[in-house]
Amino acid sequence: MKSSIAILWVLAVAIAVCAGIFASADPDGLEKVIRLLKIEHRSGYSPEPLISYAVGAIKHPTFSAVLGGIIGILLIIFIFHSILHLRHLIVLLAKLMRAEKRENDVK
Amino acid sequence: MHIPNGLLDPKVSAGAAFAAAGALGYCISRVRQALAKAAPEALLAGAGNIVANISDGSKRLAGNIADRHIMKMGAAGSLIFAAQMFNFPVASGTSGHILGGILAAIVLGPFSGTIVMSIVLSVQSIFFADGGISSLGANILNMAVIGTFASYYVYYLLHRSFKNDAGFYSGIFLAGISSVLLASIACSVEMALSGSGQLNVILPAMAAVHLKIGAAEGLISIIFVRYLSSQKFDLEGKAADEE
């Protein structure tokens, strides 16, 4: 299982690097339709440091996009590892509560 | 196809967010049930070796299976995040990227796939300004719920009908097209309900672009699935007789 997970990680990093180098800068399908039909919309919150998958502090556009992609991959892995640890914590708390209840029942 | 802030009417955004939250809650409960069910089945599969306390063993095994599945969800999510960054040209001055819904569904099953897609879309929206925060519910509904679920059942029907490689790969290809197309139809309806224009104007424009992107999604998903199959990867949503 560990090796199968590693396959997905390696693929993700390889694609993020390729995306940073080769991705098209043209508008995507929805953006194109919005422009074609001249649909107006208000702009909203945009986080400055990582807008459009680029790291604002790095001037080189390719490095910036590759780094942005890798940061995104790490964020996703971090979120799922947090879910994993949260689950362990909940299981541990449930065990402690059961043990306490058993002790009280014995008393 | 990430809807930006300010494009949808707040009522439409709220309605889509409620629908997405309901669907996501259902997916989470189905994944929890499936993981709880998986442990006793795995124990039965290796029943000859069991000499210890069945109840304790079952709980430990359930924990291991759940841990592995969550780690696999994280790895699949990182792959889909990277794949969505890769915009490829589809017509002059227009690009597209795969959604990854059918890929997520075949790698993890439709319920886990929907959860992973929702987390990927949330990260994109919150940290990378790809899709608005106010339209996150609509984006999850279109791309994670409709794009993953609807496409999975297109694949499932074809694979179950033919039960061979032709059915498997044609199922993935058609599921890729339907995933992007159905998500674009949902997006068009939300835009029309928000007063961005007439549905009979928005829908043909959206469908024309997204049909090409959908065909690319189908082909790219086949390439990924073929590669993962060649690496003996456990494709949890592949079986035609499950879920």
B86 min Cα distance to partner chain A (Å) = 5
Tell me if B93 is assigned to some domain: yes
- Best residue of B12, B79, B223, B238 to probe chain A, by most A CBs closer than 10 Å: B79
Please report whether residue B5 resides in a domain: no
User: Which residues in chain B are closer than 8 Å to A20, comparing Cβ atoms?
Assistant: 85
Q: Look at residue A25 and tell me if it is in a domain.
A: yes
What would the pLDDT profile of A61-98 be if each residue is shown by its tens digit? 888 889 989 999 999 999 999 999 998 898 889 889 98
Cα–Cα separations (whole angstroms), residue B169 to B117, B158, B174, B178: 22, 9, 9, 14
Domain region containing B179: 10-230
Is B148 within the bounds of a domain? yes
Candidates A10, A33, A35: best to mutate against B (most CBs of B within 10 A) is A33
In a domain, B106, yes or no: yes
Give chain A positions within 8 Å (CB) of B70: 80, 83-84, 87
ipTM topping 0.90: no
- Kindly report each contact of residues B157-164 with a partner whose C-beta sits within 8 Å and lies 24 or more positions away, as own/partner: B159/B238, B159/B240, B160/B240, B160/B241, B163/B240
Query: Shortest CB distance from A76 goes to which of B78, B94, B201?
Result: B78
Determine the residue of chain B that is closest to A81 in CA distance: B71
Considering the domain boundaries, does residue A40 fall inside one? yes
Supply the CATH number for residue B15's domain. Answer: 1.10.1760.20
Interface of B with A in 109-148 (CB under 8 A): 119-120, 123-124, 126-130, 132-134
Size of interface A-B (CB pairs under 8 A): 194
pTM: 0.88
**Average pLDDT of chain A?**
84
CA–CA min distance A25, chain B (Å)? 7
Under 8 Å between Cβ of B218 and B172: yes
**Spatial separation of the C-alpha atoms in residues A80 and B79, rounded to whole Å:** 13
> Quick check: is B242 in a domain?
no
Place of tokens 């690319």: B216
Residue B241 maps to a domain: no
To test the contact with chain B by mutation, choose from A37, A46, A71, A80 the residue with the greatest count of B C-beta atoms within 10 A, namely: A80
Total domain count, chain A: 1
The tally of domains found in chain B comes to 1
Q: What is the DSSP string of A13-56?
A: HHHHHHHHHH---S-BHHHHHHHHTT---------GGGGGG--T
Contact yes or no for B130 and A30 at CB 8 A: no
Report chain B residues whose CB lies below 8 A from the CB of A11: 79, 82, 224, 227
For A53, the domain range is 2-79
Nearest-neighbour CA in chain B from A107: distance (Å): 25
Q: Please list the pLDDT of chain B residue by residue as tens digits (243 residues).
A: 899 888 899 999 999 999 999 999 999 999 988 887 776 655 555 554 544 455 555 566 666 888 889 999 999 999 999 999 998 888 778 898 999 999 999 999 999 999 999 999 999 999 888 888 999 999 999 999 999 988 898 999 888 888 788 888 999 999 999 999 999 999 999 999 998 889 999 999 999 999 999 999 999 999 999 999 888 888 887 775 444
Does residue B136 form part of some domain?
yes
